[in-house]
Amino acid sequence: PPRTFIVSSAGCVFVNGRYNYASAITDEGYAKPGQEISYQLQISDTVAENEGGGKRLTLFRCTMRSQQKWWFLSEADEEQPGTDKDVDYYQHKSNKKEEATPPFSGWVTCRSAGIEPPPTLESSGIVVPRGEEYNTLEHQLAKWALENNLIELVLGDSVHREIVARSKELIEFLASMCTLDKPLEIDAEASVDSGMIANRYCLKPSHLLLAWKTCTSKADAAVSTEVYKLLVEILPSLPNGLAITLVKEIQKSLADRAEKRDYLFEVAEFCGALAIEKNKNSNDATLTVISDEVRSEVLELLWDVLTHQDASTLKNYEQLKEYVTHELRVEPMGTKHREKFLRSCCLTLKAHAEHPSDNGSGSTSGDSVDEVLALRMVQLTRFVLEACPREQAALLVTSNDAALAVLLLRELVAYLKRRAVAISAQLMRKLSSVSGAENNHPVALSERLHIIRYVYGLSDRAVMNSQHLDHLWALCAGPGDREALMVFIANASTVDNTSVAGVGSPDNTVMQPHKGAQTAPAGLQQKLPLSSAFSDEVSLYAFQHLFCASNIDWEQLGEGAYQSFQKLFKSLSKAIRSSLTSNGPALDALWRICLSAGNDDVASQAMKDLLVVYSAIAQRPATWVEGRAESSADAANSAERTEESFVRRIFQCLVKVKGGLESGDASSERSAERCVRILNAAVGHSNGGGGRTSNSAIAATLEAISNSNNVAEACRSVPHGMRGQGSYRTIGIMAKRTPQSNSIAVPQLSSTATQVAPGKLPSSVRFSLEVHPLETLGSIKAKVAKYCNHDAVLVKPLAVNGRGVSYGVRSSGETGQANLNLESEESIVAQLGITDGCEIVFLLAHQKLPDNSPSPSVKLSSKKGHGLDLSEIFLGDGSRDAADRFFDTLLNVLEALPVRDVAETDDSAAQEVDTHKLVWDLLLSMPSNRGIVDRVQSSAERNSPDQMQDGEAMAVDVPRRDPEWSSLLDERCFHRSVYIMQVIDSFLQPSLEILSTLPRDQFRTLSNAMKRDAVAFRQGFIDSGGFDSVMKFFISSGRDGGERRKKTQMGSAVALRILKCCFFGDIAPMDKSSSSLSLDNAGQNLLGSLSESRALMKRLTLVVTSEEGVSDAAVLDVLQLLQLLFTSNPRMVTDLFSSLSSRNAEKFLMVLLLWESGGSVTAATVSAGSKIRKGTEDLILMIPQLALCSLPGLIKAMDKVDVGSDSTNEFFSVLRKLVDGHHGQVDGRGAVVSIPSKSQLRDLGTAVCAKLASHPRPTGP
């Protein structure tokens, strides 16, 4: 042990001094082993008592009850030393390494007698005989190791990783020998052998350089890793001179000109090992740490690595940055190095900012900038600032008139200019060893902008101005650059409350453990917000003159740009507390974004924002105008002006779109789609669902109907798509009888009801029903009661399954289900969310059930929501000029939209189909155009109701108006003609259910008037030539190819309904699918005068074989019309099949016999599909000629039938009946034929055998 310890810097002054070894020694002069070590200081009695005079102080080790060994500086009790009677001044809780001798630092002041600060210790001499101080066992061992070249053997050419791993203690021992020998006292020095020199045998700089040379020369990565680890672990034990020599040598190897090699990787690995060792021991305060001098050299080395031109290739780059961050926060050296490194960054930034990007000839200078290194230096600038306390960072940024912030802006401008020159000169070459500058450009620009935003956010004393933004805006002309700049401007315009990593207060700096302070984790730095980078005035300028500029190409901008537009708009609205849209370019910009954005998500969000803006303007509360409060009339006028402005703008857009479509401008198709989507949303309608109308629109319609005095007024406000029976929704009905009601026999009330024996009624009945969107639940209940022959009072709706979006209906908790038990009978179908395919469950009770429905019913609110009142653009005023212009423009756009062939399935074709649907959704959702309605009425020249009797029109001569009908139903204006046919259909077959919400007497009056009007219109329509025009249109619409057939799909359905109604008259909805419809007098006359029956028959088959997406109702109409034609003239069957190719004839039969309804499988769709298949079977068996023509096709189609399908029963049923029961039939020429013939039977047998052979064998028993 040391001979003496010198105590200094203690708050108790008398504790300071030289403490001599006080424990026992051997006769030879060595410390006696196995005893507690202690040192004593005897203060002279001549010293004043208050200064410790006469005290004997002891530095000794005491074993605590926890068996830990603590060191104390105390005034030991003479009788019981080492007990509570001692006067303790300072103590040290030692670890294992510090138990042998008193530690130099880390002492703690005892509260009982000590005074701050605690002392530090220094040893002197060794307890050995005089003259043997430099000849101890340690000296002899070190001498032996060096003389035998152990270091060279461990780290030389024969190095091995296992040997290196075990040599740490040896190297640390030799390192400790560098400072072991202290200056000797005079008497001891004289007795030392002249051959002994202090600190002669110890670790030398050559040994450390050999270790580093091994790292840089060995290809074995495992060996190098062990050497790195060794050097890092011994670094704290090295004297400053050795440690600094090692670090400087490593630093020199970054650019070793002698070997013409750069050892960046090896240096980075060494630094990485330093970082790992630091993290591993960060919580161990007992370990020795490196001195401030060595720490400074290590930081310089790390900085050289981070700023190396190839540093981006290092895998541990981020790890090294974290290590540097921690070291930069260690005081007192941290402040000095932060400022030094920031100056280094600024010098590089200045060089890049002043680099000549253009030498005047349009080419870049020969000394090009390494763009990767340039970006990294910008990033390191922020890195250094984040390591600073917030106050220091703000001061560094704002000093010298915010020179640093301006320098970063200049560097960004210089970078953008360099890139612009490179692009213009087509010099997209590789500018760095890592990646091409162009490939890295989005990241480079984004990073620079983020850093500028950070720097300008550190203090509100550094701000950007509008000239800065204009300059950047001009340079960032490309879409990607422009979007990145917009994101930057939006983010920089507001205070950023997100956490700012690494920026804290001075109180959170990290101190060296040996300085006596605790080490604070770097993550505890205070998180502070970033201030805005410019004032509200500059933000407003940026929004109005840059973001809202008319020359911005939103075609190329994405979601980031629009989110920035939104963010800046909202922040400015709050800041300046006024509307940016009433006066200013914001509204124009929103319109441009809606119509021209290339990103559909951007356009969709812009549409929502546009309508919110208009609604906010229209619903803005009364304000002060010229010193007076704005009146409610003024507010109403303001709302009207807003709606007029919207209508004017959308009309201008549609006119422009129409012109673009006619000129072949591809972008006009998208603009058309956007315009219609805006309109759909503006009037409060969904973009999908077949023109599904919103809650408030439905309520407004019902309110208008309730205030109507006649049929015309009632229909005027009904949406176009709901006027006729084409808007019916086919739903399933399940009626459950109670056990008591099963035995009650009720007379049949409906011809379509299932016939059952009296006294044995089924427990449940399932059937399909057509309901109207505006029909009440009570009306549906009445239909169910009629079908089931049950008293309506005893019918109770229970639930609806598979529904769509509802408007406040009570949910049962399961998706698509709703409880109807508590719903009022006045609730309507649309309100309940009942759509095609839903199933309503009814209870057929035996006694009246209690009424749990609310009374009065809670009706839909007609209060205007966020939509605009745009009904006038469809209804118009008395002159209707504006409404007609708008309607004509909308239809012209629809006509001009290109339609692709059905075979095309690419995304663009799908988009065009959606655009057509969007336009039709809008047309169907709004009231019918009054000009069209009046023209249809006048062309049919309806007779007055008093001329009718017995439901028939009297024989009144009606002049033919073929020119009028030809102009209305013009094949060149297909969509307009379809719209007109929908109006015709609504007059022929009006939906009485739209009146179901009216009181009973009013309903009866208006519904009877509606029926009489329909009868009169039918007669006038047929007599005036309307029927002939519809049939001509229907026949001619099927003559073209796929493009026309694609458009024809919706036209065919309404044409079929019109033709069917003209033949059969008004048909009750529950009887529409019946195969036993009969002609009235008008229908018989019409059939007798039919001149194009064969063309009509062929066109009907094309509906089945050629048109995609045909509805079940349309196919049922086709079957009924074919049955009418075939029964009226059986020869048509032969004519039809002779005119069709064998493939089309086979397809016609197969499609119908194997028909499966599209969409989801519900009771309603299954029922409709079954009716079509059964109707086809009945039609084949009803007409012998059809049976004769059908059998060959059925036999040929046998191999295409999926026997596992549930839709094949009718196919095999008709095939079996044709084989078994039809013999001796007469063909069209009167000849007797046999069905089937022998050849047909032979073909049938072959087809059946082939089908059986191809079918898998059953695996069951």
- Listed in sequence order, the residues at least 6 apart from 351 whose beta carbon sits closer than 8 Å to its beta carbon are none
- Listed in sequence order, the residues at least 6 apart from 60 whose beta carbon sits closer than 8 Å to its beta carbon are 36, 37, 38, 39, 71, 72, 74, 76, 81, 82
Given a cut of 70, whether residue 1117 has pLDDT beyond it is yes
The pLDDT value given to residue 619: 64
The pLDDT value given to residue 950: 46
> How far apart are alpha carbons 701 and 687 in whole angstroms?
19
> How far apart are alpha carbons 680 and 922 in whole angstroms?
6
> How far apart are alpha carbons 1243 and 922 in whole angstroms?
54
The per-residue pLDDT for range 1181-1195, each reduced to its tens digit, is: 888 878 888 888 888
CB 919 within 8 A of CB 893: yes
> How far apart are alpha carbons 399 and 410 in whole angstroms?
17
The per-residue pLDDT for range 801-838, each reduced to its tens digit, is: 876 544 444 444 455 678 888 888 888 898 888 888 88
Q: What is the DSSP letter of 691?
A: T
The per-residue pLDDT for range 664-686, each reduced to its tens digit, is: 887 888 888 888 888 888 776 43
The per-residue pLDDT for range 391-442, each reduced to its tens digit, is: 999 999 999 989 999 999 999 999 999 888 887 765 444 444 434 555 688 9
- Listed in sequence order, the residues at least 6 apart from 220 whose beta carbon sits closer than 8 Å to its beta carbon are 161
DSSP string covering 719-734: BGGGSBGGG-EEEEEE
Burial letters 878-890, b for 16+ CB under 10 A, else e: eebebbbebbebb
Q: Which residue has 């086809």 as its token pair?
A: 1176
- Angle of the 333-353 helix axis to the 390-424 helix axis, nearest 10: 20
Whether residue 332 is preceded by a cis peptide bond, meaning omega within 30 degrees of 0, is yes
Q: What is the DSSP letter of 1160?
A: S
Of 434-438, 1017-1021, 1205-1209, where does mean pLDDT reach its minimum? 434-438
> Over the Cα atoms of the chain, what is R_g?
49
Name the CA dihedral angle for 1131, 1132, 1138, 1139, rounded to a multiple of 10 degrees. Answer: 150
> How far apart are alpha carbons 602 and 605 in whole angstroms?
5
The per-residue pLDDT for range 252-265, each reduced to its tens digit, is: 888 765 556 778 89
Cα distances (angstroms) measured from residue 888 to each of 580, 690, 883: 34, 21, 8
Q: For residues 852-867, give the mean pLDDT.
A: 50
Q: Indicate the pLDDT class of residue 864, thresholds 50, 70 and 90.
A: very low
The per-residue pLDDT for range 348-383, each reduced to its tens digit, is: 999 999 877 654 444 445 568 888 899 999 999 999
Of 310-314, 691-695, 903-907, where does mean pLDDT reach its minimum? 903-907
CB 1006 within 8 A of CB 992: no
Name the CA dihedral angle for 597, 602, 604, 605, rounded to a multiple of 10 degrees. Answer: -130
> How far apart are alpha carbons 252 and 232 in whole angstroms?
18
Given a cut of 90, whether residue 331 has pLDDT beyond it is no
Q: What is the DSSP letter of 1073?
A: T
DSSP string covering 304-372: HHHTSTTGGG-TTHHHHHHHHHHHHTEETHHHHHHHHHHHHHHHHHHHHHTS-S--SSSS--SS---HH
The per-residue pLDDT for range 75-108, each reduced to its tens digit, is: 887 777 667 788 899 999 887 777 888 988 889 9
Q: Indicate the pLDDT class of residue 872, thresholds 50, 70 and 90.
A: low
DSSP string covering 645-659: HHHHHHHHHHHHHHH
